[in-house]
Amino acid sequence: MKRIMIVDDEENIRLLYKEELEEEGFVVELAKNGHEALEKLPLFRPDLITLDIKMPGMDGIETLKRIRETERDLPVVMCSAYGEYKQDFTTWASDAYVVKCADLTELKNTIRRLLGL
Ligand SMILES: [Mg+2]
């Protein structure tokens, strides 16, 4: 079973993603900010991370940089309510970018694609 870590400062988003991704058969771990994500990374050893961009303190972009210091090949999906970020990530260190919405179809399809499922 593939392991996914969800990083988002909003609890309702974390719980929505967890419920929906567990229904898809994934093992899910949650982190409420970048610091917690970096702490849990070596313990949980995810196959993929979804990373919110807008978070207080260390934002998703800084968190991504820190993740990439040790995990060069780990698939990372950046998530944001703000579609304008999309361009910035075409040359960036993330593997995909998904605009947040209540329907998680695009996110799930992106996750399956990156995991080769
Ligand atoms: Mg946020």
CATH topology of domain 3-115: Rossmann fold (3.40.50)
Distance 9 CA to ligand 1 centre (A): 5
Distance 30 CA to ligand 1 centre (A): 14
The set of long-range contacts for 70-77, using a CB threshold of 8 Å and a minimum separation of 24, is 70/41, 71/41, 74/46, 74/47, 74/48, 74/49, 75/47, 75/48, 75/49, 75/114, 75/115, 76/48, 76/49, 76/50, 76/51, 77/48, 77/49, 77/50, 77/51, 77/107, 77/110, 77/111, 77/114
Q: Where are the domains of the chain?
A: 3-115
pLDDT band at 90 (very low <50, low <70, confident <90, very high): very low
Distance 41 CA to ligand 1 centre (A): 19
What are the pLDDT digits (tens) for 13-43? Answer: 999 999 999 999 999 999 999 999 999 999 9
Q: What is the pTM of this model?
A: 0.91
Distance 55 CA to ligand 1 centre (A): 4
pLDDT band at 73 (very low <50, low <70, confident <90, very high): very high
Distance 85 CA to ligand 1 centre (A): 14
Arithmetic mean of pLDDT over the chain: 90
